[in-house]
């Protein structure tokens, strides 16, 4: 019988990110490490140039007194961001990646909390640095050519600060603040062992080669993109290209022709909505689409290439070379999963947190499924506690990828790290085949008067199946008599509603218009309520006029402003 762990790939042993970079620069000397657009042309940066630039920048940073200091990096995805990260962890000190979407007061708080000595920033974030303490050294990415030349000169004159820099791979090397959906940021301390273990364990089960190319769309400060779409690609001698903006995604797909795409569900769902609308404009379009899906399903059993030929135009939109999609950060619906699979792509879904570096559980080349997140990666152990009658309990994880702790928060650390087991705060179920399915967060679970428990994620998924619901947030709301009502805050798909209304659409913003929007949303809620037990039914609705506030990885924040009427 074929095992779900049959495919195991050879990996070279490394113990630090420094070893990763040094060995890749030797093994893949002339390979293209990065591709970027410069003045309407594509520039290729080989591994040997990346290595030299990293060493030079590290030397410059050491010469201005930053060795063994904490240095923040903030800015859009770029080559400069990547060499900043590599220079700091490989030859200077501790890197503190920060979200460029942070508000000024949040940035000031994190700068003080982390105790950074310097901040490397891109031009678009300059105005956010005004209130950061003056003793923090500002290092603009715009001046990197000068810094790199200075570093190279210092090295030619005999400076060995990069090669002489001592790395303790077990000590904190990355301090990253969670962008959690609750809005409460905690500094997660990660070592190079944490990150390297996660890279190697993942690449043992998922094939990545030096011929692969990814398009970096998700922010690099996020551990998921940093590990899977940056460091893992450098380990394999593969290539990373940069997407300037999600609005340029299709243009950049056509230009760079990626083979692997790292995404979150919202991006994949948005692409599908655009695709379906294109089909709807064609006579019998949806019927054509379903027929193509059926044909692709039959042909795909013989070869994914045959599925690709059925959906030729879809594959062309992804650049024509796409073979795999890695999806994380939130749950992907089985329907969306199957649609991408029908296009001829292998879809890998995984689970993890910043605290687990981040991947802990994932599909692999021997096993994928639309109904779960796979198995613990090699060397990681999982178990459930406080399991209910449905088999759902809190997920605990143990392994070398688990964080060192929360920075300056010993009580918070002790609350989640017990006897080597990390208490994730997530609810999961272990399936008969040993795979895991994620049910939701303990903090968001709604408990009603009868004691029954409701997972908001289940109702949110059902609501978002309606063409008239763009996004939904389900929560428990106390009514005047003190009972808990299942409530939903909904951002409608206004474009779909407008199309449905056609010429009969009232003036936007009018009372009649708002009433029509409300009717479509009420109908969507009724359809969901018909599908679930009585105790799960949604009793109260809030209709939003603007999108929900989200994290940089496009997860809806479960904060008060997202629950309120506008």
Integer Cα distance of 451 and 537 in angstroms:
15
Task: Give first-to-last CA distance, the chain, whole Å.
Answer: 58
Per-residue pLDDT at 552 exceeds 80 = no
| Domains assigned to the chain | 17-191 (3.40.50.12780), 448-563 (3.30.300.30)
pLDDT of residue 553: 67
**Residue burial 235-273, b: 16+ Cβ < 10 Å; e: rest:** bbbbbbbbbeeeeebeebbebbebbbbbbbbbbbbebee
Integer Cα distance of 203 and 214 in angstroms:
15
pLDDT tier at 182 (50, 70, 90 boundaries)? Answer: very low
What is the C-alpha radius of gyration for the chain, rounded to an integer number of angstroms?
Answer: 24
In terms of pLDDT, which residue wins out, 444 or 524?
524
Strands 118-121 and 137-140: parallel
Per-residue pLDDT at 342 exceeds 60 = yes
Integer Cα distance of 339 and 427 in angstroms:
27
The β-bridge partners of 214 are 240, 260
Integer Cα distance of 566 and 553 in angstroms:
24
SS3 473: strand
> Mean pLDDT across the stretch 50-54?
98
Least confident stretch, 67-76, 183-192, 344-353: 183-192
Task: Look up tokens 């705060």; give the residue.
Answer: 425
Structure tokens at 191: 């070592």
Integer Cα distance of 396 and 423 in angstroms:
5
Q: What Å distances lie between residue 49 and 20, 83, 244, CA to CA?
A: 15, 11, 22
Per-residue pLDDT at 179 exceeds 70 = no
Q: State the helix-helix crossing angle for 17-27 and 47-63, rounded to 10 degrees.
A: 140
Least confident stretch, 4-8, 48-52, 331-335, 444-448: 4-8
**Residue burial 150-183, b: 16+ Cβ < 10 Å; e: rest:** bbbebbeeebebbeebebebeebbbbbbbbbbee
Per-residue pLDDT at 181 exceeds 60 = no
In terms of pLDDT, which residue wins out, 355 or 103?
355
> Mean pLDDT across the stretch 20-27?
98
Per-residue pLDDT at 61 exceeds 50 = yes
Give Cα 197 distance to the centre of its chain.
19
Integer Cα distance of 384 and 442 in angstroms:
13
Integer Cα distance of 385 and 565 in angstroms:
38
> Mean pLDDT across the stretch 181-188?
71
pLDDT tier at 1 (50, 70, 90 boundaries)? Answer: very low
Structure tokens at 181: 């959906």
SS3 75: coil
Per-residue pLDDT at 30 exceeds 60 = yes
Maximum alpha-carbon separation in the chain: 77
pLDDT tier at 184 (50, 70, 90 boundaries)? Answer: low
Least confident stretch, 89-93, 375-379, 526-530, 532-536: 532-536
pLDDT of residue 461: 83
Closest C-alpha among 55, 177, 56 to residue 114? 177
pLDDT of residue 91: 98
Integer Cα distance of 543 and 540 in angstroms:
10
Integer Cα distance of 177 and 97 in angstroms:
8
Task: Look up tokens 């692409």; give the residue.
Answer: 271
Mean pLDDT comparison of 36-45, 82-91, 282-291, 341-350, highest-scoring range: 82-91
> Mean pLDDT across the stretch 252-278?
89
Integer Cα distance of 229 and 207 in angstroms:
14
Closest C-alpha among 492, 383, 474 to residue 436? 383
Condensed to tens digits (0 to 9), the pLDDT of residues 481-522 reads: 677 888 999 999 998 899 888 888 888 888 899 898 999 999
Closest C-alpha among 126, 69, 76 to residue 92? 69
Q: Measured at the alpha carbon of residue 418, what is the angle toward residues 412 and 423, in degrees to the nearest 5?
A: 70
Contacts of 519 (CB under 8 A, 6+ apart): none
Task: Look up tokens 């420094």; give the residue.
Answer: 18
pLDDT of residue 249: 86
pLDDT tier at 332 (50, 70, 90 boundaries)? Answer: confident
Least confident stretch, 108-117, 133-142, 420-429, 533-542: 533-542
Contacts of 383 (CB under 8 A, 6+ apart): 395, 396, 421
Closest C-alpha among 408, 404, 437 to residue 422? 404
Condensed to tens digits (0 to 9), the pLDDT of residues 96-119 reads: 999 998 889 889 999 999 999 999
Asked if residue 307 lies in contact with residue 318, where contact means CB atoms within 8 angstroms, the answer is no
Tell me what the pLDDT averaged over the chain comes to: 90
Integer Cα distance of 85 and 515 in angstroms:
52
pLDDT of residue 20: 98
In terms of pLDDT, which residue wins out, 257 or 507?
257
pLDDT tier at 565 (50, 70, 90 boundaries)? Answer: confident
Integer Cα distance of 525 and 60 in angstroms:
59
Structure tokens at 77: 């995805």
């Amino acid at each position: 019988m074929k095992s779900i762990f049959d495919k195991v790939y050879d990996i070279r042993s490394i113990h630090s990110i420094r070893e990763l970079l040094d060995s890749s620069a030797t093994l893949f000397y002339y390979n293209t490490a990065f591709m970027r657009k410069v003045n309407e042309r594509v520039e290729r940066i080989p591994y040997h140039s990346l290595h030299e630039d990293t060493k030079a920048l590290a030397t410059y940073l050491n010469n201005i007194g930053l060795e063994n200091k904490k240095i923040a990096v903030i800015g859009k995805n770029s080559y400069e961001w990547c060499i900043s990260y590599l220079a700091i962890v490989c030859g200077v000190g501790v890197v503190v990646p920060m979200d460029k979407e942070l508000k000024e007061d949040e940035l000031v708080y994190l700068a003080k909390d982390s105790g950074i000595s310097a901040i490397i920033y891109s031009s678009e974030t300059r105005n956010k640095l005004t209130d950061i303490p003056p003793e923090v050294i500002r290092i603009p990415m715009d001046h990197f050519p000068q810094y790199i030349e200075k570093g190279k000169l210092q090295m030619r004159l005999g400076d060995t600060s990069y090669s002489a820099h001592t790395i303790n791979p077990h000590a904190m090397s990355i301090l990253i603040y969670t962008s959690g959906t609750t809005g409460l940021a905690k500094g997660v301390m990660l070592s190079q062992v944490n990150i390297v273990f996660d890279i190697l364990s993942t690449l043992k089960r998922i094939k990545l080669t030096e011929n692969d190319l990814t398009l970096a769309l998700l922010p690099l400060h996020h551990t998921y993109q940093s590990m899977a779409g940056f460091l893992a690609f450098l380990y394999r001698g593969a290539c990373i290209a940069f997407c300037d903006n999600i609005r340029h995604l299709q243009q950049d797909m056509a230009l760079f022709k990626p083979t692997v795409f790292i995404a979150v569900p919202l991006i994949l769902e948005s692409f599908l909505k655009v695709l379906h609308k294109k089909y709807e404009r064609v006579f019998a379009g949806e019927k054509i689409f379903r027929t193509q899906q059926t044909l692709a399903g039959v042909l795909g059993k013989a070869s994914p290439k045959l599925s690709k030929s059925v959906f030729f135009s879809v594959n062309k939109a992804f650049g024509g070379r796409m073979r795999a999609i890695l999806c994380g950060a939130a749950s992907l619906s089985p329907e969306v999963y199957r649609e991408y699979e029908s296009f001829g792509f292998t879809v890998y879904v995984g689970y993890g947190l910043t605290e687990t570096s981040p991947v802990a559980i994932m599909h692999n080349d021997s096993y994928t499924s639309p109904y779960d997140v796979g198995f613990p990666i090699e060397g990681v152990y999982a178990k459930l506690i406080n399991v209910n009658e449905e088999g759902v309990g809190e997920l605990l994880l143990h392994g070398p990828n688990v964080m060192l702790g929360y920075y300056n928060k010993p009580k918070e650390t002790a609350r989640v790290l017990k006897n080597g087991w990390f208490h994730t705060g997530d609810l999961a179920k272990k399936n008969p085949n040993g795979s895991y399915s994620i049910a939701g967060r303990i903090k968001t679970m709604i408990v009603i008067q009868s004691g029954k428990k409701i997972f908001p994620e289940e109702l949110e998924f059902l609501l978002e199946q309606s063409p008239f619901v763009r996004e939904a947030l389900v929560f428990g709301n106390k009514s005047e008599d003190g009972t808990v009502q299942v409530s939903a805050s909904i951002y409608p798909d206004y474009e779909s509603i407008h199309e449905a209304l056609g010429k009969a659409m009232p003036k936007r913003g009018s009372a009649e218009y708002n009433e029509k929007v409300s009717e479509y949303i009420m109908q969507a809620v009724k359809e969901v309520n018909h599908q679930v037990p009585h105790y799960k039914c949604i009793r109260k609705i809030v209709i939003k006029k603007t999108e929900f506030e989200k994290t940089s990885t496009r997860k809806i924040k479960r904060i008060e402003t997202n629950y309120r009427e506008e």
